[in-house]
A and B are shown apart, each in its own frame.
Chain A
């Protein structure tokens, strides 16, 4: 911005050194001569003001005489004089910025005191700037904020005048508490907090007596209106059109709660009383809790009282309990929700609560979400300018309440309010559907809930009492029924969770409701009703096409364990346990459906497991996500994380089934107090790690040179273990032993020949699982392996390709075992299958964390199966074509476009979640059936009609009507599959799937013949373009 420097020629002597007392004297002269702001001297004044700041800071750091001169000449008064003229924003902004710089940078305390001492600063604070100019506003408010950062027990007296009861810094600032610009609001909040934390009794008394009631009542009104806006946004946005807006509103509400909590956490008793009082009676009770009884579908019914939908109120209350911990507030609120009735809106609270709240001084205002009688500005004016006798009406009430518990708060209330309350409670009963009425009746008459009641008869009666005349708790519990979907249920779960985890909520209050009862008479009892509702959600989750989201399931499970477990001990009744086990069965059945139906099943399975382990549900974060406020949706195009929406398409259904299986399995193991022994599939303890020393006598070693892209070349021996590829260098100390220098999983490798050099292989080893939050897409190793001759090269290639298939098959067997699939499903030749099974077992029984096995440093490598490639290949081929595991007709019918679309789904869905897709997961097929036969199709080149392949049961059914059909057919009756036609069909499929990357020519037979072909090149071109297409769909 151009700033005039025309004053250079003004004729006054200007010292050469800009940082000197002389220069300040000179600037003083300039100011003195230009006391009237005009068009002409504006630039000059701005530069003068700027230079003054600079010199003063310099003086503060280097020469105290500079500051003395400034004070002596009372130069601050010039500032004020300039300000009083209509000087325009140009000068104003500079003035404020100069002051800002001054107060920000002055280190010398005495200088600071002098600056503040003559009350000029307060005059500047109360000056009415042109706040419609947003720049002036921004500079002004940050000036106030800067000042508030300088507040302490000493400086406070420059701002707060005890005698005049005047605190302009604070009172002027809070007038902007609801400024439309968020940064201004934040600055105001910062300032208030900075003020509150100064320990000065008289100042705090002023704040409490003169400003607290007006400020807080306006603040809660502001917050309340804000949530009404939020509610409108939710109501009007069934189609997820205004996600951004909604997310702002939700974040804003969180900001408010955090701000309130920050104030409450400062622990200023008097202030907290007023704030808690206002929050409870003017916001939380009359708006949040009141709205609990408002079912969304009845919103058309007339209700003159402001309210939000019950879903929104559950959501907001969850946030309240997750953030605010101030005991008097959360205790009262929790008691009301758990034990309160409709009278609360007329009387403020039930009797025992009244006494508690009176003691706390938080029951002085009659409940009601109503606008403050006057604007904050007006109330501040009246309360700060008028003398003590005209103190606002609420203060004496406080005094009364504090003096005695006998004060009848209800007495002071006009009868109209009571009537209002009565009307409301009736209305709440009217506003229910017949279905709900039935339930209500059932509950009230103590009829057993759907699942058999496991409690004793006294348990029954306590059940009856559980919800009797507790409309809010009843509403929450009833919301847990996911009849249509889990939209509201999720929030009810969140609220229960938040109640249970708030440190301020008394545990006694939750005894037997959210936790096992600790009372002697009812030791280890729990609320059967709640348990049953939770179990119902869990079993519903296992139904195909159910509308319960993963996050709801996970939260239900967490609440259930919290409800029935104590110190790792489960007190779940047998009937309930049976229901959980039943759910586990169903989840297993559900997953069997998907077993093998997709090539990426294994990758998904492992990926989901690690995700689940790495990212357990965080309810605080969940409640920060505005997306869940909108009705649950399936499409990933909303950008909503997978666990927070319904699955879209078969692949996501599979993922969901996997996750449900894991979650319920975990629950079942936990309830049984058994450790997990079969997951994860790869036991890191049994893997070779870098720098392990291995006994390689009698192992197949293939010498090779590993050339990386960076140009390094290292001589290594390639060892192919059961599940790992290992590069070793000889151990210098022991003959025949080697040190592992690199390890990678065979299941993650990709091998291609080199068309120019028959001794070379290009090997890429991908990362097993996305590591940490930063998804590293770079492969573990991508290098050219040069072997001694082409025979060895070919052998290596065979073994790697085969190793990959076997490693994957092995894991598929493990999954089959987890799913209780009959082992004869896989018609494998017995010896290899046996070995595989044995291995699976040994791997499976040692889970990562629970049963640590001694690190096997010197383990002989398992090589038996890999010795004779030819034999193994034959075995593999037989193994790899079990009829039951053939691709289903449905799959084959799908043309390539569909396939692409589906792959696209995978990618997109993963994109929707915060983690990035594991690079290979959607690309690598389980090659066991298709890839082995690639050579044949490559050679014969016969594209085949997809008609022949109808053998075997559909493993990938589009509709899944019932479970029995899920079991793959017994191998006995199935026709021998590998007819050439069928195979080539499969092959073409596989080729499609592989398009995204240079395919690993899966078999030894073709690797050298296929590549040089011209159509091979064309193929590559084709692949490239397709690959691009893929990327675009991402």
Chain B
């Protein structure tokens, strides 16, 4: 039953959750983070559902695995399992679409019910490059994150702004939890990021 993590490096599975029905947002973030060779180009959006990347925290190599849960909302068992298997989640909303922000509470309740209570959740307001079309203020995101104990950041998958930081900060938090021993090493060293389409 147990995952068999690579003990030397430590796998970190995470899930990235995307609140917009368009969907490309989070998978673009994922590709942006896992494969830097894809240069952000104006007229090209590429996303991916799975990615792995090695990062270094405190001189230790940690391998992050990021899974996207898109398209599986119809099946309760699948969302449930993904949340449970993940050490971290990126909760992504679109700053140019208010409704994606309004979904946060529902999603969070759902996630908290299914997931390991130690799951690190990072709230991400994506598309920060589209300042002119902004509908959700940065302060609102910050306030929501503060209220629910999430980490918060605004990113742009287009310009790659803050994408690296978002993933790495989440990974750091997870790493700290591993150090503190809150995550069962046998099970959780392998941490998944989940990407999901919640709306």
A interface with B by C-beta (< 8 Å): 1, 3, 19, 47, 50, 53-54, 57-58, 61-62, 97, 100-101, 104-105, 134-135, 138-139, 142, 145-146, 149, 180-183, 185-186, 189-190, 193-194, 197, 226, 229, 244-245, 248-249, 251-252, 254-255, 258-259, 261-262, 621, 774
Residues on the B chain within 8 Å of A258, using CB: 76-77, 80-81
Which B residues touch A194, using CB under 8 A? 71
Given known contacts A180-B2, A229-B1, A262-B75, is B37 in contact with A146 (CB within 8 Å)?
no
Name the contact of B4 in the complex, choosing from A145, A180, A226 (C-beta under 8 A).
A180
Contact B3 A182 (CB under 8 A): yes
Q: Among B38, B44, B148, B192, which residue has the most Cβ atoms of chain A within 10 A?
A: B44
Contact of B102 with A by CB under 8 A: no
Is B80 within 8 A of A254, CB to CB? yes
The reply to whether B65 and A183 contact each other, CB–CB distance below 8 Å, is yes
Stretch of B48-56, B91-99, B128-136, B162-170 with 4 or more beta carbons under 8 angstroms from chain A? B48-56
- For window 39-91 of chain B, which residues contact chain A by CB distance below 8 Å? 41, 43-54, 65, 67, 70-72, 74-78, 80-82, 84-85
**B77, A255: Cβ atoms closer than 8 Å:** yes
Q: Contacts A57-B46, A189-B77: A255 and B84 contacting too (C-beta < 8 A)?
A: yes
Interchain nearest-CB distance for A54 vs B (Å): 6
CB neighbours (8 Å) of A61 from chain B are 43-45
Contact B80 A180 (CB under 8 A): no
Select from chain A the residue with minimum beta-carbon distance to B113: A621
Partner of B48, one of A101, A245, A621: A101
Asked if residues B48 and A259 are in contact (CB atoms below 8 Å), the reply is: no
Q: Is the CB of B54 within 8 A of A1?
A: yes
Instruction: Contact check, A104 vs B47: say whether CB atoms are below 8 A apart.
Output: yes
Q: Is B21 an interface residue (CB 8 A)?
A: no
Closest chain A residue, CB of each to CB of B78: A190
Cα distance A50–B48 in the bound complex, in angstroms: 13
Task: Determine if B176 is an interface residue (Cβ-Cβ < 8 Å).
Answer: no
**Is A181's CB under 8 angstroms from B3's CB?**
yes
B75→A251 contact, CB < 8 A: no
Which of A3, A19, A54, A261 is within 8 Å of B77, CB to CB?
A261
The chain A residue sitting closest to B39, CB to CB, is A18
**B80 and A255 form a contact (CB under 8 A):** yes
Q: Is B110 an interface residue (CB 8 A)?
A: no
Q: Which 4 A-B pairs have the closest CB atoms?
A: A258-B77, A142-B50, A244-B184, A259-B77
* Inter-chain contacts of A50 with B (CB < 8 A): 35, 37-38
Complexed CA–CA distance, A665 and B31 (Å):
59
Other than the given A193-B75, A255-B77, 7 more pairs (CB < 8 A) read A54-B44, A61-B43, A61-B45, A183-B192, A229-B1, A254-B80, A255-B81
Known: A226-B1, A774-B147. A262 touches B77 (CB 8 A): yes
**Chain A contact residues: over half helix, strand or loop, or mixed?**
helix
Instruction: Give the distance to chain A from B9, nearest Cβ to Cβ, in Å.
Output: 11
Number of interface residues of B (CB under 8 A): 48
Given A252-B1, A258-B76: A138 and B52 interface contact (C-beta under 8 Å): yes
Q: Are B50 and A186 in contact (CB under 8 A)?
A: no
Q: Please tell me which one of the listed residues B4, B43, B46, B113 contacts residue A105 in the complex, with CB atoms under 8 A apart.
A: B46
Which single residue of chain B is at the shortest CB-CB distance from A251?
Answer: B84
Q: Check: B27 CB closer than 8 A to any chain A CB.
A: yes
Residues of B within 8 A of A621 (CB): 113
Is the beta-carbon distance between A54 and B46 smaller than 8 angstroms?
yes
| Total residue contacts A-B, CB cutoff 8 A | 128
Q: Give the residues from 138 to 164 in chain B that come closer than 8 angstroms, CB to CB, to chain A.
A: 147-148
B residues less than 8 Å from A100 (CB atoms): 48-50
Known: A181-B4, A183-B65. A47 touches B49 (CB 8 A): no
**Chain B residues with CB under 8 A of A183:** 3, 13, 65, 67, 85, 190, 192
Residues from chain A with a CB closer than 8 A to the CB of B43 are 58, 61-62
Question: Looking across the interface, which residue of chain B has its beta carbon closest to that of A229?
Answer: B1
Q: How far is the CA of A76 from the CA of B182 in the complex (A)?
A: 46
Are A149 and B71 neighbours in the complex by a CB distance under 8 Å?
yes
Chain A minimum-CB-distance residue to B188: A244
With both beta carbons as reference points, the residue of chain A lying nearest to B24 in the complex is identified as A105
User: What are 7 contact pairs spanning A and B, CB under 8 A?
Assistant: A58-B43, A58-B44, A61-B43, A145-B49, A185-B81, A248-B184, A255-B84
Residues of A within 8 A of B80 (CB): 254-255, 258
Q: Which residues of A contact B184 (CB under 8 A)?
A: 244-245, 248
Q: Report Cα–Cα, A274/B11, bound state, in Å.
A: 38
A3 and B46 in contact, given A180-B2, A193-B75, A262-B75 (Cβ under 8 angstroms):
no
Q: Are B47 and A248 in contact (CB under 8 A)?
A: no
Closest CB of chain A to B29's CB: distance in Å? Answer: 14
- Contact A146/B38 with A262-B76, A774-B147 known, Cβ cut-off 8 Å: no
- Residues from chain A with a CB closer than 8 A to the CB of B1 are 180, 182, 226, 229, 248-249, 252
Chain A residues within an 8 Å CB radius of B78: 186, 189-190, 193, 259, 262
Chain A residue numbers with a CB within 8 Å of B50 are 100, 138-139, 142, 145-146
Given A251-B84, A262-B75, decide whether A105 and B47 contact each other with a Cβ distance below 8 A: yes
Identify the closest chain B residue to A620 (Cβ). B113
Q: How far is the CA of A31 from the CA of B37 in the complex (A)?
A: 19
A146 and B77 contact, Cβ closer than 8 Å, known pairs A19-B41, A47-B37, A180-B3: no
Q: Is the CB of A182 within 8 A of B85?
A: yes
- Quick check: B44 and A19 within 8 Å, CB to CB? yes
The closest CB in chain A to the CB of B184 belongs to A244
Residue of B nearest to A55 (CB): B44
Assembly CA distance A707 to B80 (angstroms) = 49
- In this complex, the member of B13, B47, B84, B190 whose beta carbon has the largest number of chain A beta carbons within 10 angstroms is B84
Cβ A134 vs Cβ B76 within 8 A: no
CA distance A105 to B45 in the complex (A): 9
A141 to chain B, nearest CB (A): 9
Q: In the complex, A248 Cα to B81 Cα: how many Å? A: 11
Minimal beta-carbon separation of B136 from chain A (angstroms): 20
A194 CA / B47 CA spacing, docked (Å): 20
- In the bound complex, what is the Cα–Cα distance between A5 and B58 (angstroms)? 29
| Complex CA distance for A19 and B41, rounded to whole angstroms | 10
Tell me how far the C-beta of B181 lies from the nearest C-beta in chain A, rounded to whole angstroms. Answer: 10
Query: Would you give the shortest CB distance from A181 to chain B, in whole angstroms?
Result: 5
A229, B48: Cα distance in complex, Å: 37
Let me know if B187 and A248 touch, CB within 8 A: yes
Would you give the shortest CB distance from B156 to chain A, in whole angstroms? 19
User: In angstroms, how far is the closest chain B Cβ from the Cβ of A933?
Assistant: 43
Query: Within the complex, what minimum Cβ distance (angstroms) separates B75 from chain A?
Result: 5
> Does the CB pair A97–B3 fall under 8 Å?
no
Closest chain A residue to B38 by CB distance? A54
Name which of A53, A142, A193 has the most chain B CB atoms within 10 A of its CB: A142
- Docked Cα-Cα span, A226 to B41, in Å, equals 48
A649 to B52, CA, bound (A): 50
Task: Provide the bound-state CA to CA distance between A621 and B109, in Å.
Answer: 13
A457–B76 Cα gap in the complex (Å)? 49
B45, B49, B53, B82: which has the most chain A beta carbons within 10 Å? B49
B77 touches A142 (CB 8 A): no
**Chain B residues closer than 8 Å to A261, beta-carbon distance:** 76-77
Q: How far is the CB of A240 from chain B (nearest CB, A)?
A: 14
Q: What is the bound-complex CA distance between A139 and B47, given in angstroms? A: 15
**In whole angstroms, how far apart are the Cα atoms of A190 and B80 in the complex?**
12
Residues on the A chain within 8 Å of B49, using CB: 100, 104, 142, 145-146
Q: Across the two chains, which residue of chain B brings its CB closest to A914?
A: B117
Closest CB in chain A relative to B160 CB, distance in Å: 15
| Cα–Cα, bound, A181→B4 (Å) | 6
For B112, give the chain A residue with the smallest CB separation.
Answer: A773
Residues of A within 8 A of B54 (CB): 1
Cα A799 to Cα B51 in complex, Å, equals: 66
**A1 to B33, alpha carbons, bound, how many Å?**
12
How far does the alpha carbon of A255 sit from the alpha carbon of B46 in the complex, in Å?
A: 32
Residues of A within 8 A of B31 (CB): 101
On chain B, the residues within 8 Å of A255 by CB distance are 77, 80-81, 84
The docked-state distance in angstroms from the alpha carbon of A626 to that of B105 is 26
A180 CA to B1 CA in the complex, in Å? 6
Shortest distance between the CB of A778 and any CB in chain B (Å): 11
Contact in complex: A57, B77 (CB < 8 Å) = no
Nearest Cβ on chain B to A602's Cβ, whole angstroms: 29
